[in-house]
Amino acid sequence: MAWIRLVRPKQWSKNVLVFAAPGAAGVLGEGDALLKTCIAFVCFCLAASGTYCWNDALDAVEDRLHPKKQHRPIAAGAITPASAMVVGTVLLTLAVTLSFAAHWHLAMVIGGYVGLTLAYSSALKHEPVIDLAAVAAGFLLRAIAGGVAVDVEISPYFLIVAGAGSLFMVTGKRHAERVELGDGAAAHRRSLAHYSITYLAYVRGVATSIAIFGYVLWAFEVSARTGNEVLFQLSIVPFVLGLLRYALLLEQGAGGAPEEIVLSDRVLQLIGLTWIALFAFGVHGG
């Protein structure tokens, strides 16, 4: 049970981002493309779990100061840091090796993700602003991975939306940590000492604006290419409402973990399903 909690299978839900680019390109109905996208998903699950092992091993001391993270297996003493690092290395190696089954470009993305997350765990997480960019880049690499796995062209607007949306979610998580830990935030994460609630709200506002603007451009680009204007342009509405609902939940004190917010709010789920339906029908009906 301790090992299962360490590799955090619940967090694998973040890796569905690998389906975004192939889904937008309308190729998930093709057997080969679906298989390669699933390989990318599995690779990111392995890579993410591997980096969690390393991250928790390096963060054990700080985690013991956190009201929730102190119960993580390594911080609680159920698993030794050395054994976690060994398992983490095995998982990371498997992730990179398996990625070659889809495309060598995917192996490069997975390798980049591994390097980024290890750099984050060891140093970047302590640098304000850089830590936000590093975590957001991890989400962006997930979105890119799906496209390179099936070798489809990725729109620059798609990258803008994915990047800004990732920054929005990461900043929301930092906001939740800052509120929950209060004056003791810096003891758990040094970069939090530099973030005020006002500043984090400002960054979320900037990220939201860029994400919405990028999505509008992307929706019009795709609608012009497919000729299915109505559905893609209508999808702008639930996209904007989804961001606003997510921001409201953060302000009301919801946890900072994206998967917890999405899985706990029925309204946000309904908005998300509406957006998926409009976009999917637009892709396949155009």
Examine the domain organization and report whether 31 and 147 are in the same domain.
yes
137 and 252 share one domain:
no
pLDDT value for 187: 60
Q: Which of 189, 207, 110, 105 is nearest to 147 (CA)?
A: 105
Supply the range of the domain harboring residue 133: 1-154
Same domain, 177 and 64: no
pLDDT of residue 186: 58
CA distances from 100 to 71, 115, 186 (A): 36, 17, 41
Whether residue 86 is found in the same domain as residue 209? no
Same-domain status, 69 and 187:
no
Q: pLDDT for 36-62, tens place per residue? A: 999 999 999 999 999 999 888 887 777
Same domain, 144 and 285: no
End-to-end CA distance of the chain: 47
d(CA 249, CA 133): 22
Tell me 65's DSSP state.
Answer: T
Assess whether 254 and 228 both reside in one domain.
Answer: yes
Distance CA 269, CA 234 (A): 18
pLDDT for the residue numbered 30:
82
Per residue in 159-206, pLDDT tens?
A: 999 999 999 989 988 888 787 766 666 566 677 778 888 999 999 999
Same domain, 85 and 167: no
The tokens for 94 are: 């498997």
- Exposure of 61 by Cβ count < 10 A (0-12 exposed, 13-18 middle, 19+ buried)? exposed
179 and 55, same structural domain? no
CATH number at residue 143: 1.10.357.140
Domain boundary among 106, 136, 154: 154
Among the three residues 128, 154, 180, which one is the final residue of a domain in this structure?
154
Q: Between helices 236-251 and 197-226, what is the axis angle to 10°?
A: 170
For the four alpha carbons of 119, 125, 130 and 131, in that order, the dihedral sign comes to positive
Q: Among residues 104, 134, 154, which one ends one of the domains?
A: 154
Are 147 and 167 members of one domain? no
Cα angle for residues 71, 74, 79 (degrees, 5° grid): 120
* C-alpha distances out from residue 203 to 25, 93, 167, 207, 242, Å: 30, 35, 8, 6, 18
Residues (pLDDT < 50) of the chain are none
Phi-psi region of 201 (alpha: psi -120 to 50; beta: other; left: phi over 0): alpha
The tally of domains found in the chain comes to 2
43, 124: one domain = yes
> Considering only CA atoms, which of 107, 139, 135, 110 is closest in space to residue 120?
135
Q: For residue 183, what pLDDT is reported?
A: 63
Is the same domain home to 139 and 87?
yes
